[in-house]
């Protein structure tokens, strides 16, 4: 058996696991990926509210409110906003942290984004998604569902 065949079988098992998740868990995984992808692709604009730009409008209001309230602190805790220590406005902290994140080298940036997406999905699932499960499920979802559904730029 080739390595590709072996990995394809693992991805198929993860897909089966994901498809067995309750709908709210699948939505939580989706939210983690979408918010993180929006952070990765955010373009700063003076007219844009950064938090509105990165948080999807179609998610549950409780999750949206939590993200608006807590995401700047999470980014600060991840030490993404140390260069913005004097800022107090949530949107400014978030925009500053995003700029720092976007300036990181490829693998380091990917590691931060992956961890952030897991954390957001964990919160969006009300703690039902474990960190360990999130590591695997979010990677599978990003590689096999999100990227497959996103047109190439």
pLDDT at 152: 64
Q: Is the pLDDT of residue 153 over 60?
A: no
pLDDT at 119 over 80: yes
Q: 10 Å Cβ neighbour count for 124?
A: 26
DSSP 151: P
Q: Got the DSSP string for 85-107?
A: TT---HHHHHHHHHHHHHTS-HH
What's the pLDDT tens digit per position in 94-115? 888 888 888 888 898 899 899 9
Length of the chain: 153
Q: What is the mean pLDDT of residues 32-52?
A: 79
pTM (predicted TM-score): 0.80
Model confidence pLDDT, tens digit, residues 49-77? 788 888 888 887 888 888 888 888 877 77
| pLDDT, position 1 | 80
Domain borders along the chain are: 23-148
**DSSP secondary structure letter of residue 85:** T
Q: What span, in angstroms and rounded, lies between the C-alpha atoms of 92 and 86?
A: 10
Which CA distances in Å does 96 have to 85, 93, 108, 149? 10, 5, 17, 30
């Amino acid at each position: 058996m080739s390595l590709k065949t072996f990995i394809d079988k693992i991805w198929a098992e993860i897909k089966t696991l994901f498809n067995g998740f309750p709908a709210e868990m699948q939505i939580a995984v989706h939210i983690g990926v979408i918010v993180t992808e929006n952070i990765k692709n955010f373009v700063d604009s003076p007219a844009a509210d950064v938090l509105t730009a990165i948080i999807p409008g179609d998610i549950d209001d409780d999750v949206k409110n939590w993200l608006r309230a807590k995401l700047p602190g999470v980014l600060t805790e991840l030490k993404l906003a140390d260069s913005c220590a004097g800022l107090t406005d949530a949107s400014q902290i978030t925009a500053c942290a995003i700029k720092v994140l976007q300036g990181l080298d490829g693998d380091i940036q990917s590691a931060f984004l992956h961890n952030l997406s897991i954390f957001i999905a964990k919160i969006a699932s009300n703690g039902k998604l474990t960190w360990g499960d999130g590591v695997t499920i979010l990677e599978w979802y990003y590689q096999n569902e999100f990227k497959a559904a996103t047109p190439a730029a």
